[in-house]
């Protein structure tokens, strides 16, 4: 290897680049010279056999030559592309009687549309929108929320565990724990995103969307919670629904309630859970539960979207069936 050989090689390649007329052959040349198994890699592998001083000298010459070759190839590529565009634009004949190309209009997915509506409603009444990790520590997903070690939701039959302490979150309540742990009171947030549970049928999927609200303040009470939920549901379902609250149980709220709406056939259907934040949850976050009170609620986004549009199978949302999705344009 010497300078003369490098210079001779450089001149030969430049001549080939200059004579190349199309992108196909130019790309073949580029790969042959600059690719992982190209001539540059081969030449560089030979440097290790040279003396350290020669290695430095010829290495510099080699890189200079190949950088210039790369620049010439790029310039030639731009020239060929420009020439091809000019040739396409110089087509003299165009049949104006041909029908135009139909542009298919897309639409927002019904789940995305529901999320936007929910965000807008709660943002307008003073809630801050937050998001968080989908891969979570069991402390934030269970323990901090007053969910005992023996609770069935911790079982592998219900939860996707990554290892003994890490899992795919089963609820967006984990975000509330992160927010409360910062202890910037008062708090008024909604947390939303994907959650994961080991379930799959016409009403459940292994992944679904959930939105949860949390208020922590000195004067909040259950009447405030009922007012928020009542107005949200009336707004979302266009005011034409009957709503009832039923006493229920959740580890992280006390008292707790489930909220039902009446279907057209007269049956009541549960759509969300809510309640006053359990003192143990506030205690875990080192919030003075004698001074501050919290209320929370959780809504399954797929559930209320199905009810709104009369969809019977939740799996339709995730099958990318255009006949189904085109109904929502």
Please provide the DSSP assignment of 165-229 as one string. SEEE-SSTHHHHHHHHHHT-SSEEEEEEEEEE-S--BTTB-SEEEEEEEEEEESS--HHHHHHHH
Check whether residue 123 and residue 67 sit in a common domain.
no
CA distance 244 to 320: 35
Check whether residue 196 and residue 264 sit in a common domain.
yes
Has residue 85 been placed in a domain?
yes
Check whether residue 142 and residue 13 sit in a common domain.
no
Q: What is the span of the domain harbouring residue 83?
A: 3-89
Structural domain total, the chain: 2
Check whether residue 176 and residue 85 sit in a common domain.
no
Check whether residue 131 and residue 83 sit in a common domain.
no
Which of 21, 54, 89 terminates a domain? The answer is 89
Check whether residue 126 and residue 265 sit in a common domain.
yes
Has residue 105 been placed in a domain?
no
* pLDDT at position 8: 74
pLDDT digits (tens, 9 = 90+) for 15-36: 888 888 888 888 888 888 777 7
- CB count in 10 Å sphere of residue 176: 30
* pLDDT at position 31: 82
End-to-end CA distance of the chain: 67
pLDDT bin (cut points 50, 70, 90) of residue 176 is very high
Check whether residue 256 and residue 142 sit in a common domain.
yes
Which of 60, 89, 118 terminates a domain? The answer is 89
CA distance 61 to 63: 6
Has residue 97 been placed in a domain?
no
Nearest to 283 by CA among 247, 258, 254: 254
Over pLDDT 90: what percentage of the chain? Answer: 41
Has residue 259 been placed in a domain?
yes
Check whether residue 80 and residue 120 sit in a common domain.
no
- CB count in 10 Å sphere of residue 113: 14
Check whether residue 76 and residue 115 sit in a common domain.
no
What is the residue-averaged pLDDT of the chain?
Answer: 85
CA atoms within 13 A on the CB side of 181: 10
- Residues recorded for the chain: 329
Q: What's the rounded mean pLDDT across residues 169-192?
A: 91
* pLDDT at position 1: 54
Tokens found for residue 206: 């292994």
Check whether residue 23 and residue 166 sit in a common domain.
no
Check whether residue 40 and residue 124 sit in a common domain.
no
Which of 55, 89, 123 terminates a domain? The answer is 89
Has residue 54 been placed in a domain?
yes
Q: What's the rounded mean pLDDT across residues 126-149?
A: 91
* pLDDT at position 100: 77
Has residue 99 been placed in a domain?
no
pLDDT digits (tens, 9 = 90+) for 209-229: 999 999 999 989 999 999 999
- What is the three-class DSSP state of 131? coil
Tokens found for residue 276: 């006053």
- CB count in 10 Å sphere of residue 305: 23
User: Where residue 128 sits, what CATH number does that domain have?
Assistant: 3.30.930.10
* pLDDT at position 224: 95
Check whether residue 81 and residue 199 sit in a common domain.
no
Has residue 98 been placed in a domain?
no
Has residue 293 been placed in a domain?
yes
pLDDT digits (tens, 9 = 90+) for 96-114: 777 877 877 778 889 999 9
* pLDDT at position 51: 67
Tokens found for residue 213: 């609200």
- Would the pLDDT of 38 be above 80? no
CA distance 259 to 247: 9
> What pTM was computed for the model?
0.65
Nearest to 34 by CA among 56, 15, 54, 17: 17
Q: What's the rounded mean pLDDT across residues 303-308?
A: 88
């Amino acid at each position: 290897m010497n300078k003369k050989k490098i210079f001779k090689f450089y001149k030969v390649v430049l001549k080939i680049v200059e004579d190349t007329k199309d992108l196909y052959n130019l790309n073949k040349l580029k790969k042959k010279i600059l690719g992982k198994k190209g001539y540059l890699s081969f030449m560089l592998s030979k440097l290790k056999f040279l003396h350290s001083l020669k290695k430095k000298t010829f290495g510099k010459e080699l890189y200079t030559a190949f950088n210039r070759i790369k620049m010439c190839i790029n310039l030639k590529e731009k020239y060929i592309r420009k020439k091809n565009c000019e040739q396409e634009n110089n087509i003299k004949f165009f049949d104006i009687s041909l029908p135009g190309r139909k542009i298919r209009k897309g639409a927002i997915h019904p789940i995305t549309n529901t999320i936007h509506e929910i965000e807008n409603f709660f943002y307008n009444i003073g809630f801050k929108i937050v998001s968080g990790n989908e891969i979570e520590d069991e402390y934030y997903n269970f323990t901090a929320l007053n969910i005992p070690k023996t609770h069935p939701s911790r079982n592998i039959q219900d939860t996707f565990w990554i290892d003994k302490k890490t899992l795919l979150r089963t609820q967006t309540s984990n975000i509330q724990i992160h927010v409360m742990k910062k202890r910037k009171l008062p708090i008024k947030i909604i947390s939303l995103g994907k959650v994961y549970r080991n379930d799959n049928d016409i009403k459940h999927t292994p992944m679904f969307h959930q939105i949860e609200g949390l208020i922590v303040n000195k004067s909040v009470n259950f009447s405030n919670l009922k007012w928020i939920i009542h107005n949200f549901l009336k707004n979302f379902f266009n005011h034409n629904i009957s709503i009832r609250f039923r006493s229920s149980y959740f580890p992280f709220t006390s008292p707790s309630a489930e909220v039902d709406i009446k279907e057209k056939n007269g049956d009541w259907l549960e759509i969300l859970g809510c309640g006053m934040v359990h003192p143990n949850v506030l205690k875990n976050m080192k919030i003075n539960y004698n001074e501050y009170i919290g209320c929370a609620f959780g809504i399954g986004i797929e559930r209320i979207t199905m009810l709104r549009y009369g969809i019977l199978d939740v799996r339709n949302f995730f099958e990318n069936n255009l006949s189904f999705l085109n109904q929502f344009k």
